Amino acid sequence: MAELSASILAADLLNLERDIGEAIRSGIKWIHLDVMDGHFVPNLTMGIPFGYAINKKFDVNIESHMMVDNPDMYLDKYCSFSKLVTIHYESPVQTIRVLKEIEKKGAMPGISINPKTPVSSIEPLLQSVKYVLVMTVEPGFSGQELIEEAALKIPHLNEYRKRNNLDFLIGIDGGIKKENISRIAALGPDIIVSASAIFSGNIEENINSLRSCIKERKNGQ
């Protein structure tokens, strides 16, 4: 069954400790840290101090999703508190070199692709990653509608992984909510990232509802 990852981009920043704690008590094992620099994407969000604070306070896996122009500038710090560090294929860096640096520094290397980027673009990199994050919205802001066509990359990645005997995880991020999560889970991702659907309203009820939809789909109900 796919694992839920909670993106704190939609959490109450004035009550971040409360919201993360509630998510973890409700069974969340992954916290998704959206890192934006205002250049690669048109938004500026959580940086290094957030990661350190979360890692110090909570026993949870952190995925740092680096939506930045130069992720290699910050790898020492992000790798120090992250289980997984994901960079974008579209960022202007030497991707394979940065992926190797992430692994060397002790984190799982991940690659993310925007909705318009085909899976074929990253196939030469898939031997070097432990995670592929499929974006189903244009990165930058929470609350967007899911782009259905982008989600169809997941079966392609599953087939490629099986055919080449690889073990990378597959994640999906963007516009996922109760109304579509069953359909998304049926495509076969390992990790489903959700923001607003978790942190809008009652966090425990939201997580239980999302997880129930995933489980029902897995059981064919």
Does the pTM surpass 0.85? The reply is: yes
58 burial (CB, 10 Å; 0-12 / 13-18 / 19+) is: middle
40 has pLDDT over 50? yes
Q: Quote the CA–CA distance of 49 and 61 in Å, as a whole number.
A: 16
Amino acid identity, position 187: L
pLDDT classification of 221: cutoffs 50, 70, 90: very low
Q: What is the pLDDT of residue 93?
A: 80
Q: Looking at residues 36-40, what average pLDDT do you find? A: 89
pLDDT one-digit tens code per residue, 160-185: 999 999 999 999 999 999 999 999 99
129 has pLDDT over 50? yes
- Residue 190: CB atoms within 10 A of its CB come to 18
What phi, psi does 3 have (nearest 5°)?
A: -95, 140
Q: What is the pLDDT of residue 219?
A: 55
Residues of the chain with pLDDT > 70, as a percent, come to 98
Tally the C-alpha atoms within 13 A of residue 12's C-alpha that lie toward its C-beta.
12
Amino acid identity, position 97: R
Contact 115, 152 (CB under 8 A): no
Supply the mean pLDDT for the chain.
Answer: 94
Point out the residues that are catalytic. Answer: 34, 173
Q: What is the pLDDT of residue 17?
A: 97
Q: What CATH fold (topology level) applies to the domain 3-218?
A: TIM Barrel (3.20.20)
pLDDT one-digit tens code per residue, 190-213: 999 999 999 999 999 999 999 999
103 has pLDDT over 50? yes
In terms of Cα–Cα distance, which of 91, 94, 97, 83 is closest to 169? Answer: 83
